[in-house]
Amino acid sequence: MTELFNTALTPWEWTQLISFYGIAALMIVAALMVVTLRNIFHSALGLAAVALGAAAIYLMLDAEFLAFVQILVYVGAVVTLIAFMVMLTQRASHGKLVRQSNDQKTISFIVVLSLFALLIWKIPTTVWNTTVSTGNLADAKTLGTAFLKEYIMPFEVISIVLLVALIGAIVLARREPK
Amino acid sequence: MIVPLAHFLILSLIIFCIGLYGALTRRNAVGILMSVELMLNAANINLVAFSRFVSPQSGTGQIFAVFVMALAAASVAVGLAIVICIYRNHRTIAADKIDLMKW
């Protein structure tokens, strides 16, 4: 961190730094909204904000394909599905008097805080095996080739899993025939 | 990339911890599902960051991130179908009220 600011930064590097920390702060605020807000629909909007922030982070990490898949899948499908579900079950979660958290608040906070303390202590002190990027970065073409060569088996399995999940969801949500 | 790898990991750690807290404390079943989605997003940020910093040419981390996204979509579809099924039978989606299969 200290050696970062000793060297003179170009305007492009300043832009990267400022946008990273800005997006990170927005994502953390939105994530806190997801877990603390009483109105569950506002939580779903917070989840959409976190997904968009993650897409921006992917763009900063030169993963353009993943960024647009993230927007399509999360903001387009998952958050829409959750919003529908909130509206369908509104009578159960509606009203100011309905408690939104259970009795495990203190113990959960202690567990989460200890996990956080352990990792925040270990992450900066570990030496990561990073490489400086030279040559072509992985793009959509690289990913597509890898999916159809090295990862063909997991790719087929994940397709079957998605198909089974879709059929299972339809069967579960279907009204029982009289 | 001027931002060091550790900062991406710390962002991912913070979002994971918030998601874990939500999954442990939310009463609403839809809220629990949203917290699980937060944790999966945090894992994805980790995978993509390692992919960029450790093996930028092969993109293996991005491939695993695509698998995680597919599994997240499948889990949210099945989870929400279960929630709507429980709501239809019990008229509640509070996770501590659904104790039909507890001893």
Express as a percent the part of chain B with pLDDT over 70. Answer: 99
Residues of A in contact with B75 (CB under 8 A): 165
Q: What pLDDT band is residue A24 in, cutting at 50, 70 and 90?
A: very high
ipTM of the complex: 0.91
The continuous run of DSSP H or E covering B45 comes out as helix B29-54
- Amino acid identity of residue A19, one-letter, is S
**Averaged pLDDT for residues B23-35:** 91
Q: What pLDDT band is residue A88 in, cutting at 50, 70 and 90?
A: confident
At A102 the pLDDT is: 77
Mean pLDDT of chain B: 90
Q: How far is CA A110 from CA A52, B17, B83, in A?
A: 30, 11, 29
Instruction: Kindly state the DSSP code that residue A61 receives in the 8-state scheme.
Output: T
Q: What pLDDT band is residue B58 in, cutting at 50, 70 and 90?
A: confident
Residue A93 Cα, gap to closest chain B Cα (Å): 7
The CA distance from B99 to B3, in Å, is: 47
Q: In this complex, which of B13, B62, B76 lies closest to A143 when CB atoms are compared?
A: B62
The CA distance from A118 to A109, in Å, is: 14
At A97 the pLDDT is: 55
**What is this structure's pTM?**
0.90
The CA distance from B39 to A68, in Å, is: 20
The CA distance from B84 to B92, in Å, is: 10
**Averaged pLDDT for residues A68-75:** 93
Name the nearest CA neighbour of B9 among A18, A56, A119, A23.
A119
Residue B38 Cα, gap to closest chain A Cα (Å): 7
Query: Among the ranges A131-135, A172-176, B62-66, which has the highest mean pLDDT value?
Result: B62-66
**Averaged pLDDT for residues A83-94:** 79
Tokens of A130: 């990073």
How many Cα atoms sit within 13 Å of A110 on the Cβ side?
3
Q: In this complex, which of B11, B31, B59 lies closest to A143 when CB atoms are compared?
A: B59
Q: What pLDDT band is residue A136 in, cutting at 50, 70 and 90?
A: confident
